[in-house]
Amino acid sequence: MSTAADNRAITAPNGIIPLINLVSPRHSDSWTHTRNGDNRGYIDADSLSELWIHTGTACNLACPFCLEGSKPGDTRLPAMSLEMLKPFIHEAVDMGVKQFSFTGGEPFVIRDFVNILDYASQHKPCFVLTNGTRVLTQRAHQLLPLKNNAYPISFRISLDYPDATRHDAGRGEGSFAESLDSIKWLQENGFKVSIARQMELNEDSAAVESIYCRIFEQHGIAEKLPFTAFPDFGTPGTEDGSPEVTTNCMEKYPTRESRSHFMCTYTRMLVNTAKGVRVYACTLVDDDPDYDLGSTLSESMKARIMLRHHRCFSCYKFGASCSAPA
C-alpha cells in the first residue's frame, strides 16, 4: 500500500484523524499511477443496480464537516429538476436498475424534489438521505400521497452522535430533536427508516448503537432501526493522507464477488453541472471532474474506475457504502 509519506495524518486527541491539504506532487499520470509511481488499483463496473441522484448542494444547515460543503443557497452543484432527470430514470429502468437513491445537500430544500420522488417511485423503490429536520415534516402533506405509488420510499436520517449537545454543535441547536420527530413521524406513517451516524476510531459499535436505541425508546420510537456508520470523508477538495490503493492492494479482493462492495461496481450518480446532467462514478467523488463518466448511463458503465480519490480508501478499508442497509 503506497502512502503520501511526507503528509502522514496525526491522530488528534479526540481520536479523529484531521484532514490536511496534501502538497506532495502527483505522478505525471496520476489517474493510473500513485505518487510513488505504482500502478493504481481500479474497478471495472458490473451492472447498474442503484442510481444515485444528487439533488444539489443547497441545504438548510451549514455543517462544517459536510462532505459536500453544503450550506443554505449553495450552488457548487445546482439543483435538479424532474425534466432533467426523466431521460435518465427511463434509461436506468431499461438497464435493469433496482433502486433510485437521493442525496444532497438536503433534498427537501429543492423545489422540485417531491415531484422527482413521486415520478421515480412510480418506476422503482426509492431511498432518500436527509438530515430529517423540519424541512422534512413541513413536506409531510406532500409525502403521504406517495405511499400509494407502485414502489416504496425509505429514508436514512443523519444523527451524528447519540448525544443531542454534540450533534447540535455541528448541525445547529434543536436539530437533534427535530430529526427524532421526523423519525417518529415516518415510522408512524409506514415509511422504512434507517440511521446514518459518525464512525469514530476504535469505537465499540454495539455499545454506541445501544445508546441510540435507548434514546429512541425514550422518544417513543419502538421499532429497531438499522445503522450505517461513516468515517470522516472530509470536505470537497481536501485530502486526508490516506494510503493510495494500488493494484497489489486489490489482490485482497481477487474475485468479482469480493469487489462487489465497491460502490463503483454497481452504482452511478447524476450531477447537475455547467455541461448539463453528467454521470459520476459514485456518491463520494463529485469534487473531482476526472470522475465525470459522460452524459449517459450506458456510456458510464464502460469506463474503468481508477481508485484515485482519497475517499476510495474508505471503501477499500471499511466497505463504506452509501446504499441502504440490507
Provide the grid cell at 69.
460543503
Question: What pTM, to 2 d.p., does this model score?
Answer: 0.89
DSSP state for residue 307 in the 8-state scheme: -
Residues forming a β-bridge with 246:
40
Range of the domain at 73: 46-237+267-302
User: Is residue 34 domain-resident?
Assistant: no
How much is the mean pLDDT over the chain?
89
> How far apart, in whole angstroms, are the C-alpha atoms of residue 207 and residue 213?
10
Q: What is the pLDDT of residue 82?
A: 98
Q: Which residues, 6+ apart, have CB-to-CB distance to 192 below 8 Å? A: 152, 154, 155
User: Would you state the pLDDT for residue 242?
Assistant: 85
CA triplet 239, 108, 143: central angle to 5 degrees?
140
The pLDDT value recorded for residue 27 is 59
Spatial distance between the Cα atoms of 225 and 193, rounded to a whole number of angstroms: 7
φ, ψ of residue 101 to 5 degrees: the values are -125, 150
Note the pLDDT of residue 18.
40
Whether residue 121 has pLDDT greater than 50:
yes
Does 184 fall in a domain? yes
β-strands 267-273, 304-306 pairing: unpaired
CB-CB contact of 32 with 39 (8 Å)? yes
Helix orientation angle between 113-120 and 82-94, rounded to the nearest 10 degrees? 20
Q: Which of 16, 34, 32 is nearest to 24 (CA)?
A: 34
What average pLDDT score do residues 46-54 get?
A: 97
Query: d(Cα 72, Cα 61) in Å, to the nearest integer?
Result: 6
- What is the rounded distance in angstroms from the CA atom of residue 174 to the CA atom of residue 192? 23
Gap between the Cα atoms of 202 and 15, Å rounded: 8
The pLDDT, as a whole number, for residue 320 is: 62
Strand partners, 157: 130, 195
Read off the pLDDT band of 326 (50, 70, 90).
low
Q: What percent of the chain has pLDDT over 70?
A: 90
Whether residue 68 is contained in a domain is answered as: yes
Tally of domains within the chain: 1
Could you tell me which residue, 244 or 2, shows the higher pLDDT? 244
Task: Tell me the mean pLDDT in the region 22-28.
Answer: 50
What whole-number distance in Å separates Cα of residue 278 and Cα of residue 294?
A: 6
Q: Is the omega angle on the peptide bond into residue 73 within 30 degrees of 0, that is, cis?
A: no
- Is 183 within a domain? yes
252 domain-assigned: no
pLDDT score at 21: 40
Q: pLDDT grade, residue 315 (50/70/90)?
A: confident
The answer to the question of residue 143 being in a domain is yes
Residue 2 pLDDT more than 70? Answer: no
State residue 154's pLDDT score: 97
Mean pLDDT, residues 139-160:
97
Q: What pLDDT score does 201 carry?
A: 84
Question: Does residue 219 belong to any structural domain of this protein?
Answer: yes
Grid cell digits, residue 44: 471495472
pLDDT at residue 9 in the model? 33
pLDDT value of residue 284: 92
Q: What is the CATH number of the domain that holds 233?
A: 3.20.20.70
The reported pLDDT for the residue numbered 86 is: 98
* pLDDT at residue number 301: 97
Checking phi first, is residue 241 left (phi over 0); if not, alpha (psi -120 to 50) or beta? left
* Torsion angle, alpha carbons of 29, 315, 313, 277, to 10: 40
Domain annotation covers residue 136 = yes
